[in-house]
Amino acid sequence: SQQGEEDPQALSIQEGENATMNCSYKTSINNLQWYRQNSGRGLVHLILIRSNEREKHSGRLRVTLDTSKKSSSLLITASRAADTASYFCATYRSGANSKLTFGKGITLSVRP
């Protein structure tokens, strides 16, 4: 089964509100990454949080990681219509079979 699973699958909010998206995973990881995908485009990296970090900020983005619960959350504050996109979490595990595994994504719609 998929390593990273996002929740909710879809989220619709008003411009100016905060958006919170969650990601759960099953096995130990080295880092967790969040990506954004605009319709019909490739993914763009947003933020990476290492397994020994608990919180990270980048502009209006705040990511938390709870390795004991194997979960992460992405918070977008003061959302804008331009934030409308799909958001994916991806978990990275190093080693002989190192890989980056993506979840199914969350569709965020920000209404103007």
Strand order in the sheet with 19-24: 5-7, 19-24, 71-76, 61-66, 55-58
**Shortest distance (Å) from residue 16 CB to another protein:** 27
Q: Which residue lies nearer to another protein by CB, 68 or 98?
A: 98
Specify whether the CB–CB gap between 85 and 37 falls below 8 A. yes
Query: For binding to another protein (CB under 8 A), which residues are involved?
Result: 2, 33, 35, 40-45, 48, 88, 90, 99-100, 102-105, 107
In the bound state with another protein, the residue whose beta carbon lies nearer, of 99 and 111, is 99
Between CA 87 and CA 43 the distance in angstroms is: 9
* Contact criterion met (CB below 8 Å) for 82 and 107: no
The smaller minimum CB distance to another protein, of residues 45 and 78, is found at: 45
